[in-house]
C-alpha cells in the first residue's frame, strides 16, 4: 500500500501542476529568458557567417571578410538602436513605422521597477521585457546584411560596404519588416513568414544580387569566350565549421520565433519547430549531395554545405508545420533548387563567392511558397509578399550602391584585387607566412 501511495502522490502533484496556469510574472520571466537565449543563439550565427565566408574566400582576403563581419554586426546594432527598430515596430500605419521610438530605451515601467517601484504586476502583463524583444529583433537584422557580405566578397571596398550595411540595417530591412512583422499592409493581407525566409533571407538575397551585378565578377572568374573558371576557397574546414555553427544557431532563429515560453503549448510548439528545422537541414544536405553526384559525377563539399543552409532557409518560413516528413521534403527541395541555381547564376555571370544568393534568396523564395502549398498560408498572398520584397529591396539597394560607386568608389582596383584586400586595405594579414 505504501508503495502505491508513494507512486500516486507525486503523480497527482505533477498532474495538478500541469493543469494549473503559471502566474503572469512566471510567464514574463520565461518569455524574457527565451528571447535573450534565442537572441544569443542567433548572435552566434554571426560567427558562423564569418567562418563560412572566411573559408570560401582566398587567403589574401581573409582578414577583410572577418573585419566586414564584425563591423556589419556592430553597425546593425547601432542602426537598429538609432532608427531601425522604430521604423519597423513603432506606430506602423501600413507602409512604415515612425521615428517616435528612435534611440531605443527600456520602457518607463521597466525603469521604474529598477528604481524600486512595486509595479511587477504591470510589467508582467506585457508578457516579456521590451529590452529582450529589441535584442532578439536586432540579431535578425544583422543576419540580413551578412548575406550581402559573403556574396560580394573579394572585390568590394571595406568602407563603402560598411556604409551600405548602415543603409541596409537602418532603412531597407526595417521598412520591409514593418510591412510584415511590424503589422503593416502585408501582415494585414495575411502574409505568413514564421521566422523570415523572405523577411530576412530573401531581403538579404535581393540586396546581394544587386551588389554582385553592380560590382561585376572577380577578375579571372569568367573568360571572354564564356568559360567559367572556379575560384577555390582557401579553407574548407572553416567553411564546414561555419555551416555547423549556423545550423546550431538556427535553432534559436526558428525556435525563438515562437516568441514565448510561458506555457505548455509554447513548449510543444517550440519542440516541433526545432525538429522541423533540424530535419529540413538534413534533407537539404542529402538532396544536394545526391544532385551533386548526378551533375558533376563527384560530390562537391561546398554544395553539401550550401544544401544545409538552403534547407534551413527553406523551412524558416513554416517551421511550425506539424508534419515532420513534409518539413524534410521542403528542406530537400531547398537543397535541390540551391544546387541548380549555383551554375545558373554562373551562366548569367553573377559571381557569388559563397553561394549566398542560391542558398538564401532562391531557397527563401521556395520556403515562402511552401507555406502556401503545405501550410496554412494563401499561395497568392505569399507570392505578393515575395514580389514586394524584390520591388522594395532591388531599387533601394541599387540607389545605395550606385551613389557609393559615384562618390567613394565601390570596387577595389585591379592591383588591390590581385594582391588581396588584406594587404591593400588592412594592417593585419590573416596568413602572413603565405604572402
Cell matching residue 411? 570596387
pTM, two decimals, is 0.93
Split at pLDDT 50, 70, 90, the class of 9 is very low
Report phi then psi at 222, rounded to 5: -125, 130
Least confident of 224-233, 241-250, 313-322: 224-233
User: For residue 435, what pLDDT is reported?
Assistant: 59
Q: Is residue 335 over pLDDT 60?
A: yes
Instruction: Assign 20 a pLDDT band (cuts: 50, 70, 90).
Output: low
SS3 156: strand
Q: What is the pLDDT of residue 17?
A: 38
DSSP letters spanning 316-369: HT-TT-S-HHHHHHHHHHHHHHHHHHHHHHHHTT---SS-HIIIIIIHHHHHHH
* pLDDT computed for residue 16 by the predictor: 40
Say how many C-beta atoms besides its own lie within 10 A of residue 380's C-beta.
11
Identify the helix (H) or strand (E) that includes residue 296: helix 264-296
**Sequence-separated (6 or more) residues with CB below 8 Å from residue 418:** 219
Strand-pairing partners, residue 222, are 228
CATH architecture of 24-223+247-434: Orthogonal Bundle (1.10)
Higher pLDDT, 191 or 5: 191
- The domain ranges of the chain are 24-223+247-434
CB 143 within 8 A of CB 165: no
> Taking the mean position of all CA atoms in its chain, how far away is CA 362?
14
Q: What is the torsional sign of CA 156, 158, 162, 163?
A: negative
* Residue range 50-86, pLDDT digits in tens: 999 999 999 999 999 999 999 999 999 999 999 999 9
The reported pLDDT for the residue numbered 93 is 79
**How many whole angstroms separate alpha carbon 242 and alpha carbon 240?**
5
Taken in order 304, 306, 312, 317, the sign of the CA dihedral is negative
Which whole number is the average pLDDT over 374-398?
96
Q: Work out the burial of residue 363: count CB atoms within 10 Å of its CB; fewer than 13 is exposed, 13-18 middle, 19 or more buried.
A: buried
Which residues in 17-53 are b (16+ Cβ under 10 Å) and which e?
A: eeeeeeebeebbbbbbebbbbbbebbbebbbbbbbbb
Q: What is the pLDDT of residues 257-303, one digit of tens each?
A: 999 999 999 999 999 999 999 999 999 999 999 999 999 999 999 99
- Residues 31 and 193: their CA atoms lie apart, in Å, by 21
Within 13 A of 30's CA, how many CA atoms are on the CB side? 14
Say how far apart CA 233 and CA 154 lie, in whole Å: 11
What's the whole-number mean pLDDT along residues 381-388? 98
Could you tell me which residues come within 8 angstroms of residue 416 by beta carbon, excluding any fewer than 6 positions away? 424, 425
Mean confidence (pLDDT) of the chain: 92
**Which pLDDT band holds residue 434 (cuts at 50, 70, 90)?**
low
CA distance 32 to 42: 15
Contact status, residue 198 vs residue 368, Cβ threshold 8 Å: yes
pLDDT digits (tens, 9 = 90+) for 417-431: 999 999 999 998 998
Count helices and strands in the chain by DSSP H and E runs = 20, 0
CB count in 10 Å sphere of residue 16 = 9
Rounded CA-CA distance 329/403 in Å is 42
Query: What would the mean pLDDT of 207-211 be, rounded to a whole number?
Result: 98
How many angstroms from the chain centroid is the CA of residue 394?
Answer: 18
Q: 137-159: per-residue pLDDT in tens?
A: 999 999 999 999 999 999 999 99
Integer distance in angstroms from the first to the last C-alpha of the chain? Answer: 80
pLDDT at position 238 over 70: yes
Alpha-carbon span 29 to 129, nearest angstrom: 8
Share of the chain above pLDDT 70, in %: 95
Alpha carbons 314 and 317: distance in angstroms, whole number: 7
- CA gap 293, 48 in Å, rounded: 26
Amino acid at each position: 500500500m505504501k508503495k502505491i501511495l508513494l507512486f500516486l502522490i507525486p503523480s497527482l502533484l505533477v498532474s495538478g501542476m500541469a493543469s494549473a496556469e503559471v502566474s503572469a510574472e512566471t510567464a514574463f520571466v520565461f518569455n524574457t529568458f527565451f528571447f535573450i537565449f534565442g537572441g544569443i543563439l542567433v548572435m552566434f550565427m554571426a560567427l558562423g557567417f564569418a567562418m563560412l565566408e572566411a573559408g570560401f574566400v582566398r587567403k589574401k582576403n581573409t582578414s577583410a571578410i572577418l573585419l566586414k563581419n564584425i563591423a556589419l554586426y556592430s553597425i546593425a546594432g547601432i542602426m537598429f538602436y538609432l532608427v531601425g527598430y522604430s521604423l519597423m515596430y513603432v506606430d506602423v500605419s501600413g507602409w512604415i513605422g515612425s521615428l517616435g521610438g528612435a534611440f531605443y530605451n527600456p520602457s518607463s515601467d521597466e525603469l521604474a521597477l529598477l528604481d524600486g517601484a512595486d509595479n511587477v504586476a504591470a510589467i508582467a502583463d506585457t508578457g516579456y521585457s521590451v529590452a529582450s524583444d529589441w535584442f532578439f529583433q536586432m540579431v535578425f537584422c544583422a543576419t540580413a546584411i551578412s548575406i550581402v557580405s559573403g556574396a560580394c566578397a573579394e572585390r568590394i571596398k571595406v568602407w563603402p560596404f560598411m556604409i551600405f550595411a548602415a543603409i541596409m540595417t537602418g532603412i531597407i530591412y526595417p521598412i520591409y519588416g514593418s510591412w510584415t512583422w511590424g503589422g503593416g499592409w502585408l501582415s494585414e493581407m495575411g502574409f505568413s513568414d514564421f521566422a523570415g525566409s523572405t523577411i530576412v533571407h530573401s531581403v538579404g538575397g535581393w540586396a546581394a544580387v544587386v551588389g554582385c551585378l553592380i560590382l561585376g565578377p572577380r577578375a579571372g572568374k569568367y573568360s571572354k569566350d564564356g568559360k567559367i573558371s572556379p575560384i577555390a576557397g582557401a579553407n574548407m574546414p572553416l567553411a564546414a565549421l561555419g555551416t555547423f555553427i549556423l545550423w546550431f544557431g538556427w535553432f534559436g532563429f526558428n525556435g525563438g520565433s515562437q516568441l514565448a515560453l510561458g506555457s505548455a503549448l509554447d513548449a510543444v510548439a517550440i519542440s516541433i519547430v526545432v525538429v522541423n528545422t533540424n530535419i529540413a537541414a538534413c534533407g537539404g544536405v542529402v538532396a544536394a549531395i545526391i544532385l551533386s553526384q548526378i551533375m558533376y559525377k563527384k560530390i562537391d563539399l561546398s554544395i553539401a554545405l550550401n544544401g544545409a543552409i538552403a534547407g534551413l532557409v527553406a523551412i524558416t518560413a513554416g517551421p511550425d508545420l506539424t508534419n515532420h516528413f513534409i518539413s524534410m521534403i521542403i528542406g530537400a527541395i531547398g537543397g535541390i533548387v540551391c544546387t541548380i541555381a549555383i551554375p545558373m547564376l554562373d551562366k548569367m555571370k553573377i559571381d557569388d563567392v559563397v553561394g549566398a544568393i542560391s542558398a538564401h534568396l532562391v531557397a527563401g523564395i521556395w520556403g515562402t511558397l511552401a507555406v502556401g502549398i503545405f501550410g496554412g498560408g494563401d499561395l497568392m498572398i505569399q507570392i505578393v509578399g515575395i514580389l514586394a520584397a524584390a520591388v522594395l529591396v532591388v531599387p533601394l539597394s541599387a540607389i545605395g550602391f550606385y551613389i557609393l560607386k559615384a562618390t567613394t568608389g565601390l570596387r577595389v582596383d585591379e592591383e588591390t584585387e590581385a594582391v588581396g584586400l588584406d594587404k591593400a586595405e588592412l594592417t593585419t594579414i590573416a596568413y602572413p607566412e603565405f604572402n
